[in-house]
Structure 1
Amino acid sequence: MQAHSLFLILCAIVTGAAVPFQAGANAALGRTLGHPLWATLMSLAISMACVLPLLLIARVELPTLSSLSHAPRWIWIGGIVGAFYVTGAILVAPRLGAAGFVTAVIAGQMIASVAIYHGGLIGFPQRAMTLQRLAGLLLIFGGLVVMQAQTFSSRTGLE
């Protein structure tokens, strides 16, 4: 594996490591504000407040609105999915726990990723479902079952 690929994998791992912190902080924010949708709004507003100074520091030019008229309609789902994810994390992470939540999120991400590749959707190249990918999905689901079996048994006293 090339050094550049290893660096990208490390970046993805660090990005993924932030997810349980985000889920826990947003869940606490939801409890503090009294509703998960207020926490979603605040979280996304804070995200915007963090990105705006970076745009100014990097002197990124404003996009042209004409470029949007030629873009596919599905490009807008990123913001919708972001709000959906943050709200889902606020509601679900405290109930599943950090590890259970992240494991389930990874399982969902992998199912969607394989489906996206298989269909060549949203700008990704088409890649057929293979036995290796299916085996990877099954291993992830096995991990999810093991993680949640422990959580379930500890909550019900079935250890």
Structure 2
Amino acid sequence: MIHSNESHTTDLSSVKVVSRQSSVRSIKPREMTLLDNVIFCAFLCLIGGVATASQGAVNSKLGQYTGQGLSSIIVFCTGAVVSVVYFLIEVKGRPPTNLSLMMAKAPWWSWTGGLIGAIFVIITILAIPKLGAGTTTAIIVCTQTIFSCVIDHFQIFDLPFRQYSVWRGLATVGLIGCVAVIAKF
């Protein structure tokens, strides 16, 4: 293949779009849900932040009474029960008939969420008694945010591209500074 320094453009004026719908009226609008509301989703994230900060401290305290390994098992069994209830609500008590086919199509790495969650829970159970809830959570959230930006930039896990811009880089420096202050004081 020979490469040239000339730029090539494609003229899209001759492209014809063929629609299966006969008219705009025949297209059914998608029903809006509460999760389409950005403010509601941001509120859920706030609850998630409180839950994440609390989870490590709660799990660590349970670990002091039951041992770290057993507390992790208790956490995941409780989480499994809550997840089953949520699943049944989501599917209105009727799992999809093609569920096994859909599950078979999932990429191998999409099955590692439980493993990643277990690592997170065990790390917080071990680290919080030594570092405290604030420092442990600050380190985790800082690392989580930075790696999330890397995931966006390199489209890891098939996510849409979001550039790791100068502003995100500056925010990264700010996050690291926040962790240093929280850990020091």
> TM range, normalised to the smaller chain?
0.7 to 0.9
Structure 2: how far apart are the matches of 1:148 and 1:122?
32
- 3-state SS in 2 of match to 1:59: coil
Matched, 1:61 2:100: no
Aligned-pair CA distance for 1:50: 1.9
Greater displacement, 82-91 / 24-33: 24-33
State the one-letter code of the partner of 1:101.
T
Structure 2: how far apart are the matches of 1:117 and 1:53?
31
Matched, 1:80 2:115: yes
Structure 1 equivalent of residue 58 of structure 2? 25
Structure 2: how far apart are the matches of 1:78 and 1:135?
30
Match of 2:124 among 86, 89, 109: 89
Structure 1 equivalent of residue 22 of structure 2? none
Unmatched 5+ residue regions in structure 2? 1-35
Structure 2: how far apart are the matches of 1:116 and 1:72?
17
Structure 1: how far apart are the matches of 2:130 and 2:166?
33
Match of 1:104 among 121, 135, 139: 139
Greater displacement, 50-59 / 107-116: 50-59
Structure 2 equivalent of residue 157 of structure 1? none
Match of 1:140 among 172, 175, 185: 175
Deviations 1:85-131, CA, capped at 9 Å, x for gaps:
11011011222212212111111111210110111011211222210
Unmatched 5+ residue regions in structure 1? 151-159
Structure 2 equivalent of residue 117 of structure 1? 152
Structure with larger RCO (C-alpha < 8 A, sep 6+): 1
Percent identity between matched residues is: 24
Aligned-pair CA distance for 1:12: 0.1
Structure 1: how far apart are the matches of 2:86 and 2:175?
36
* Correspondence 1:8-19 to 2 at 5 A: 8-19=41-52
How many matched pairs?
Answer: 147
Aligned-pair CA distance for 1:27: 0.7
